[in-house]
Amino acid sequence: MAVSVCQSFQQTRKNTTTRDKIRLLVQKVCAERLRIRAQVCQRLTDTALDALGEDVLSAPHVYRNPISGKEEYRHALVQALHSQEIPEIGVSQLLEVGAYITSFAADPSLNDCVVALRNPRQYESAFFQLAVGHRLSLAGCSNMMLEPPTQRGKADLAFTYLGRRYVVECYRLNQFYHTGILNYRITFARSLFELVPRSKKYSFRLELLVMPSFDTIRRIRDACRRLVGDMSRTRQTQVSVEAQRFSLAVEDISNIYPDPDFPAGVAPGTTPPQRLRENEEFILEDLIETEGFFDMKLPNGNKCSPKSRLFYLDPNHEGGIADPYRILEKRISRKLSQTATEETSAGRLLFVEFQLGLRDSDGKETQGKIQDRIRRLFERVSGIFILERRLGASNRFIYDSIFIRGNLEWTVPDGLLSRLNQVEKSDIFCVV
Which amino acid type is present at position 189?
A
Identify the band that residue 87 occupies on the pLDDT scale cut at 50, 70 and 90. confident
Residue 61 φ/ψ, nearest 5 degrees:
-80, 95
323 against 184, higher pLDDT: 184
User: What's the pLDDT tens digit per position in 319-354?
Assistant: 444 555 566 666 777 777 778 787 777 888 989 887
Give 373's contacts (C-beta < 8 A, 6+ positions apart): 329, 332, 333
Q: What is the mean pLDDT of residues 265-269?
A: 62
Give yes or no for residue 239 having a pLDDT over 60: yes
Q: What is the pLDDT of residue 180?
A: 46
% of the chain surpassing 70 pLDDT: 73
Identify the band that residue 18 occupies on the pLDDT scale cut at 50, 70 and 90. confident
Q: How many CB atoms lie within 10 A of CB 139?
A: 19
Identify the band that residue 161 occupies on the pLDDT scale cut at 50, 70 and 90. very high
Using alpha carbons, select from 341, 23, 290, 301 the residue that is nearest to residue 165: 341
Q: What is the mean pLDDT of residues 88-98?
A: 90
Q: Could you tell me the sign of the dihedral formed by the alpha carbons of 264, 268, 269, 273, in that order?
A: positive
User: What's the pLDDT tens digit per position in 219-228?
Assistant: 888 889 899 9
Q: How far apart are CA 165 and CA 288, in angstroms?
A: 52
Q: What is the mean pLDDT of residues 172-192?
A: 64
pTM, two decimals, is: 0.67
Q: Is 304 exposed, middle or buried (0-12, 13-18, 19+ CB in 10 A)?
A: middle
Which range of 12-21, 133-142, 399-408 scores highest in mean pLDDT? It is 133-142
DSSP sequence for 58-113: HS--EEE-TTT--EEESSHHHHHHT-SS-HHHHHHHHHHHHHHHHHTTT-TTHHHH
Q: Report, in angstroms and rounded to the nearest whole number, the Rg of the chain calculated over CA atoms.
A: 25
User: Which parts of 317-428 fold into alpha helices (H)?
Assistant: 324-337, 361-377, 414-425
Q: What is the mean pLDDT of residues 85-89?
A: 78
